[in-house]
């Protein structure tokens, strides 16, 4: 009996060892395949992020190019002909005219030059609104909202709770352009009756929130549209936010009576 028991024990030990070995091998194989799946997933995510960065870069370049083309068109189509007309009044024949004709030519040229100066000033203001430059984001947004209210189409208002320390000028301009784009989208697509903007300051960030009672977007809608071939305005918002390392959140209020858009802007040390 003893040799038989020893044989059974040896067989059991052998099968147990073999089972543990197979289990270990299976576990190692599982880990290897799982790591490969994780690596493939990470590579896919990196590719998707890289593609998204390309989309945002293309949108940003397209936005800049459109702005350059608009400025070039304004200068070529408007300022160019005005200056050419003014030049006609100030040719060498001016000295051969009698005094009354000279005065009339000079007056006409002056009017045209004044008009050209105003045109160039308007182009300059579109690049950097003077209210924003001189008085800051709060004043610029208030001025923008007053112009919308003046149309009588809907009620808009804003309230800045704590904006004593201004953002850097280039960041203020980007935030102002984002607000303009958001308002423009709401006016075009939402059929709202009111828009309310609030600003709050955190320890390391600033929150700007827009409320409106029209048709709005959720975050899923924003992510989907910003990655599609449509929604250039949304791509512009996303590309501008990337420059200032900001975030945006679209959501519907739990009451389902209005939509909210929240912009989260990190503040630099000198802006806190």
Please, what's the b/e burial string for 211-249 (b: 16 or more CB within 10 A of its CB; e: otherwise)?
A: bbbbebbeeeebeebbbeeebebbbbbbbbbeebebebe
Q: What is the pLDDT of residue 112?
A: 85
Task: Please enumerate in sequence order all residues whose Cβ is within 8 A of that of 205, keeping only pairs 6 or more positions apart, or say none.
Answer: 264, 265, 266, 267
* pTM of this structure: 0.63
Q: What is the pLDDT of residue 142?
A: 93
Which of the residues in the chain have pLDDT under 70?
1-13, 15, 48-69, 72-73, 76-77, 92, 124-125, 230-232, 270, 272
Strand partners, 201: 206
Residue with tokens 């459109």: 66
Q: What is the pLDDT of residue 200?
A: 92
Of the candidates 99, 87, 199, which has an alpha carbon nearest to the alpha carbon of residue 140?
199
Q: What is the pLDDT of residue 2?
A: 45
Residue 118's region, left for phi above 0, alpha for psi from -120 to 50, else beta, is alpha
Task: Please enumerate in sequence order all residues whose Cβ is within 8 A of that of 30, keeping only pairs 6 or more positions apart, or say none.
Answer: none
Are 263 and 181 contacting, i.e. CB atoms less than 8 angstroms apart?
A: no
Q: What is the pLDDT of residue 260?
A: 94
User: What are the pLDDT digits (tens) for 159-210?
Assistant: 999 888 888 888 898 899 999 989 988 988 888 999 999 999 888 899 999 9
Dihedral pair phi/psi, residue 37, rounded to 5°? -65, -40
Q: What is the pLDDT of residue 49?
A: 66
Packed helices 169-189 and 137-151: angle between N→C axes, nearest 10 degrees: 20
């Amino acid at each position: 009996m003893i040799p038989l028991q020893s044989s059974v024990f040896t067989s059991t030990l052998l099968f147990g060892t073999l089972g543990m070995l197979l289990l270990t091998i299976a576990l190692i194989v599982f880990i290897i395949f799982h790591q490969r799946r994780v690596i493939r997933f990470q590579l896919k995510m990196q590719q998707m992020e890289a593609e998204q960065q390309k989309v945002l870069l293309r949108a940003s370049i397209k936005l800049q190019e459109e702005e350059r083309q608009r400025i070039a068109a304004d200068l070529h189509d408007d300022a160019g002909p005005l200056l050419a007309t003014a030049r006609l009044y100030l040719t060498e024949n001016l000295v051969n005219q009698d005094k009354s004709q000279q005065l009339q030519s000079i007056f006409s040229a002056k009017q045209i030059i004044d008009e050209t100066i105003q045109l160039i000033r308007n182009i300059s203001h579109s690049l950097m609104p003077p209210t924003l430059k001189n008085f800051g984001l709060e004043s610029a947004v208030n001025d923008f909202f007053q112009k919308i209210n003046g149309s009588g189409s809907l009620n808009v208002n804003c309230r800045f709770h704590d904006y004593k320390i201004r953002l850097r000028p280039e960041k203020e301009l980007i935030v102002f352009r984002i607000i303009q784009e958001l308002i423009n989208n709401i006016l075009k697509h939402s059929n709202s009756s009111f828009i309310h903007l609030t600003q709050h300051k955190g320890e390391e960030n600033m929150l700007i929130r827009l409320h409106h009672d029209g048709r709005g977007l959720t975050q899923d809608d924003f992510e989907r549209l910003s990655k599609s071939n449509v929604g250039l305005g949304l791509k512009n918002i996303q590309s501008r936010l990337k420059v200032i390392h900001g975030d945006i959140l679209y959501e519907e209020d739990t009451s389902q009576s209005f939509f909210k858009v929240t912009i989260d802007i990190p503040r630099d040390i000198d802006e806190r």
